[in-house]
Amino acid sequence: MSKFQVGYAEVNINPPLGAGVSGYYIPRYGKGFLDDLMSEVMVFSCGGKKIALISVDVCGFAASVLKEVKKGIAEKTDIPESNIFLSATHTHTGALLVPTEAFEADEEVIRTYAEFVTNRIVDGTVMALADLKDAKMGFIVGYAPERVAYIRRYKMKDGSTFTCPPIGDPNIDHPIGELDQRVNVLRFDREGGHSIVLVNYGLHADTVNGEMFSSDWPGWMRRTVEKVLDGTKCMFYAGAQGDVGSTHVFPEGGDMNDTEISFDNEMKSPGMARFVGRALAGTVLQVYDKVEYIDVDSIDLMEKVIPIPSNMPTKEELPLAHKYKELHDAGRDDEIPFKAMQLTTVVAEALRMVRLENGPENYMLNLTALRLGDVVMLGIPGEPFTEIGVKIKETEGYRMILPCALTNGDMGYFPVQSAYDEGGYEAKTSPFKAGVAERIIEGAKELLSDIR
């Protein structure tokens, strides 16, 4: 049997004050820190192969930054570019890595920070590689408690579809879809080193808001687990979370404790991040000691590229899209006849239309599978709906499948077919045509079969 080894390292990636805060369509600039932003790396070694598994407190990775990270790791280590599994935690209070129209004046600051983050990730990988130790792996599924996550798309009584409707709106009828409350947990015990627990759960890391840098609830979860489990490090990988948030539209009891209603109709505050992070840490602690250990005698990483038609606008849609974009760019959102999340939706939809006015007609979407014996992590380069993760988990032949959002890229939302039929923020703003979710599921199952 081949020896299975695991190395680990973490590095700080705090940006300078005043750097642009990512996550919304309005400019924000960091005024301080609620907590540190981190990059964590695990390196796996088995049978002559080495694979880097990386989690970073940013909203997402553009292709240009991903390219530089992979290039840097390959130059400084013996891990090839093809053996890198890089995921964003999707915190909405991290710093920008690429310039956007709202931050054009800050291009140099953003590019400098992106270079810093790239170098820090490479440093972390070098350190993790030097930390390789004999290890064993266990897995188990926990379940998230109530009040942590909710489907955020709703069918309204008037027949419309609304993403993040106003809290307490009497027109709300029912959520569209079902939660997947399974929390996938991997535990790596290493001889003479920290244990590492890897947590995979589908929920947006968007509970803080404001202009303070923060790792959001994933940071709270990691720190809580590490405080309770002495000698253990915790990493987070976002699951299929494209249609999942933390807002209860009909709050009751203490739901509003330490919580505010944000500009986009959601329950957000540092207190909300603390609650969600602690609650999910509780799930991890409930199951940590009961993992089932399995042999890892081989590891592999494989990619599959699938073509997806883009969601290009019609000629009739473009005049209004350009108008809304011009008003938004001029800071005149109050002249656009929508409020709160509806305003966010029409602005984002207009930006998508203008961006795709001249194509491309198709995107090449890259899926990534990382296999550790009979367990596999399936990376998707964007934000898949819950149903996509559920369907992928149904693939036979593995002890556990962990769908991982925002892995090796951030290409946008991947809504299911019904979401395009019904409308709502995600489908209106997605750069992909209807059918993308179904194609991802099909491609993922093919990839899982190939890597088996």
Cβ atoms 369, 377 nearer than 8 A: yes
For the ranges 113-117, 194-198, 230-234, 325-329, the lowest mean pLDDT is seen at: 325-329
Q: What is the pLDDT of residues 266-289, one digit of tens each?
A: 999 999 999 999 999 999 999 999
Decide: 216 and 205 in contact? Cβ < 8 Å: yes
Taking the C-alpha atoms of residue 303 and residue 2, their distance in angstroms, rounded to an integer, is 23
> Which residues neighbour 270 within 8 Å (Cβ) at sequence distance 6 or greater?
34, 208, 212, 214, 258
State yes or no: pLDDT of 366 exceeds 70: yes
How confident is the model over 370-397, as a mean pLDDT? 98
CA distance 308 to 109: 33
Q: Where are the beta strands (DSSP E) in 152-222?
A: 153-156, 161-163, 172-175, 182-190, 195-201, 212-213
DSSP state of 78: S
Q: Which residues pair with 172 in a beta bridge?
A: 156
pLDDT of residue 424: 84
In the chain, the percentage of residues whose pLDDT exceeds 90 is 92
CA distance 349 to 427: 9
Structure tokens at 210: 């404001």
Mean pLDDT (the chain, rounded):
95
State both tokens at 109.
Answer: 């600051």
Q: Residue 341: its pLDDT value, please?
A: 85
Res. 412: pLDDT tops 90: yes
- Rounded CA-CA distance 371/373 in Å is 6
The pLDDT value given to residue 342: 87
Query: Of 233 and 422, which is predicted with more confidence?
Result: 233
pLDDT in tens, 81-102: 999 999 999 999 999 998 876 6
pLDDT band at 107 (very low <50, low <70, confident <90, very high): confident
Confidence of residue 1 (pLDDT cuts 50, 70, 90): low
- Identify the pLDDT of residue 105: 63
3-class DSSP state of 11? strand
Mean pLDDT, range 113-133, rounded to an integer: 98
Q: Is the pLDDT of residue 177 over 90?
A: yes
What pTM, to 2 d.p., does this model score? Answer: 0.94
Q: How far apart are CA 340 and CA 320, in angstroms?
A: 19
Give residue limits of the domains in the chain.
Answer: 5-301+364-451, 313-358
Q: Which pair of structure tokens corresponds to residue 270?
A: 């540092």
pLDDT surpasses 90 at 26? no
- Please compute the mean of the pLDDT values over residues 216-230 and round it to a whole number: 98
Highest mean pLDDT among 20-24, 170-174, 426-430: 170-174
